Structure 1
Amino acid sequence: MSTAEPDNALTLPDDITETVATALAEDIGDGDRNAVVVDEDSAATARVVAREACVLAGAAWFEAVFTQLDDRCRVTWHYHDGDSLKPDTIICEVRGPARSLLTGERTALNFLQLLSGVASDTRRFVDRVKGTRVRILDTRKTLPGLRSAQKYAVRCGGGINHRFGLFDGILIKENHIAAAGSIANAVSRAREAHPELMLQVEVENLNELDEALAADADSVLLDNFPSHILSRAVNKCRRHLLPNRRSVISEASGDISLRNIRDYADTEVDRISIGGLTKNVTATDFSMRLQMD
């Protein structure tokens, strides 16, 4: 049985149909040459098993593979995205034409193993910082074409999403600063063009932090700060009040792992962003076993 109800934070992205269609076209091309091993009118039931402990993510993509192949396919789920699974757990059954089940198997499992891998890794980081104020964030370091899916998987693991892309938030990084001439110039120009957007500045030392605070950045990304220096930076952010009387949001990044993340979280930084959640993905092991009806 399911161990959790779907959460409102797990709102599905609106590009699942297109993403799945692209993946199926990539795999099938002009036809599945393997499917002829079973009769066209044969029906089957397949069980999908999680072979290792994980956090489930990707059910909608998995299901869309089979419904796009054949609307007679039906998936019965025993768990929800975001649920923690033990090894050898049966997560669902798929019933339908045997040829469709065989054709969709690899593509469906690819989505499930990738997204569950992202969710599982995220959950490990979230669990490691329990009891602190910090929230775990993703970044734009995603697999091309799968950003919305991977960011959804991060939410399944208990993380939160940073900006989706270049259009819905401003992050001024070292190359922007070099091009604009200074942090102050970069912030001023960005504010003038897009006053409605959250503006964050990446800084690499306390002097740059002072410049970003003086420019009234909404948030600072404290990149590769040792934890003892990060504590000083976080205190500076808390003391600096923006025109709306709120303190600057502090975010740490760079060379943060499960081994050292607790040290960073204990500085009381607001957020920690980890590119590896979506960039260095270890797929979860799932299998699908077919039985003819």
Structure 2
Amino acid sequence: MQELDMTISSADGLDWEEARSHVSAALDEDLAWGPDATTIATIGADATGTAAIVSREHGCLAGLPLAVLALQITAERDGVELDIEVRLNDGATVAPGQTLLRATGPVRTLLTAERIALNYVSQLSGVATATHQWAQILQDTGITVRDTRKTIPGMRVLQKYAVRCGGGANHRMGLGDTALIKDNHIAATGSLAAAFTAVRSKFPELPVEVECDTLEQVAEAVEIGAELILLDNMAPDVVKDAVGITRPAGVRTEASGGITLYNVAGYRDTGVDYIAVGALTHSSRVLDLGFDLA
């Protein structure tokens, strides 16, 4: 069996052992109610063939290493070998009719792995494709699109990997790598300054981002030492005014809330550093891919 080139994923921070564990669990779930009855009944044990994952539309690729893992793990469990030819790397753009990979071996193994392989690469390529659209629109503006924590449970690391494949950047991975002071924290402590001081006291080394709804809050956040300010639901002209406050102090900004591909043009010349788009991970349509058996 062909060994998968580890650089496909590890070069962009996708933990290989974690990915293998995730794929194994997905395969277990698919077989939790018994073996692949339809395939066993209709395909002879000695039948061999070649299957190809083929794009049905234009998009940006992510998750192909996980599709390969699904094929490899299934083959290992079946005690057989597959010859897998990877045609593209994650991050590549694809067109209708383009082959992403070809796998040759026992047909039973190929068909048992089919749905899990497609689930990964279709879902993650959908995230990468949506991110790529944003990255293209924001090209040459100095603005980077990035994700949020609005991810599918259990898929966060993989979806955020797909965002990177599409040309975006990741916001915090979880609750512990960056502090984000939001309105509820401010309400609970009594003031923005009190919330900021509490975080700095308890976690002095942690980066701190502050969510602001008004220019007055932006000025206060700059004054108390915030490193990054989230400009929540601000119109483009207000975002531009906020950047006028933050930039002289060297504080980065992130616009969030209600920004779509249809209105993002208004934010292109605001000077904001990031645009946060939760829809990248919670609402992206899967990329239409097929698993064609020859």
TM-score normalised by the chain length of structure 1:
0.92
Moved over 3 A (4+): 5-9
Partner Cα separation in structure 1 for residue 280 and residue 258 of structure 2 = 13
Task: State how 1:39-188 maps to structure 2 within 5 Å.
Answer: 39-71=44-76, 72-188=81-197
- AA paired with 2:167? G
Counterpart for residue 258 of structure 1: 261
Partner Cα separation in structure 2 for residue 231 and residue 9 of structure 1 = 36
Task: State how 1:221-260 maps to structure 2 within 5 Å.
Answer: 221-240=230-249, 247-260=250-263
Note the C-alpha offset of 1:158: 0.4
- AA paired with 2:57? E
Q: Aligned pair 1:220/2:229, yes or no?
A: yes
Contact 1:251–1:270 (Cα < 8 Å) also in 2: yes
The number of residue pairs the alignment matches comes to: 281
CA RMSD in angstroms, aligned pairs only: 1.5
- AA paired with 2:31? I
Contact 1:67–1:73 (Cα < 8 Å) also in 2: yes
Note the C-alpha offset of 1:18: 1.6
Note the C-alpha offset of 1:9: 5.9
CA distance 1:194–1:22, shift in 2 (3 Å): same
- AA paired with 2:39? A
- AA paired with 1:59? L
Contact 2:39–2:112 (Cα < 8 Å) also in 1: yes
Partner Cα separation in structure 1 for residue 10 and residue 20 of structure 2 = 21
For structure 2, list consecutive stretches of 5 or more residues without a partner in the other structure: 1-6
Contact 1:122–1:277 (Cα < 8 Å) also in 2: yes
- AA paired with 2:154? G
Q: Aligned pair 1:35/2:39, yes or no?
A: yes
Contact 2:209–2:230 (Cα < 8 Å) also in 1: yes
Note the C-alpha offset of 1:97: 1.6
Counterpart for residue 203 of structure 1: 212
Q: Which secondary structure state, in structure 1, belongs to the residue aligned with residue 37 of structure 2?
A: coil
Partner Cα separation in structure 1 for residue 89 and residue 179 of structure 2 = 34
Counterpart for residue 244 of structure 1: none
Note the C-alpha offset of 1:164: 0.4
CA distance 1:69–1:183, shift in 2 (3 Å): same
Partner Cα separation in structure 2 for residue 9 and residue 253 of structure 1 = 29
For structure 1, list consecutive stretches of 5 or more residues without a partner in the other structure: 241-246
C-alpha distance after superposition, 1:107-159 (max 9, x if no partner): 11011110000000001001001111111111100000000110010011000
- AA paired with 2:14? L
Partner Cα separation in structure 2 for residue 58 and residue 238 of structure 1 = 37
Q: Which residue among 10, 19, 22 is the counterpart of 2:22? A: 19
- AA paired with 1:154? V
Contact 2:47–2:107 (Cα < 8 Å) also in 1: yes
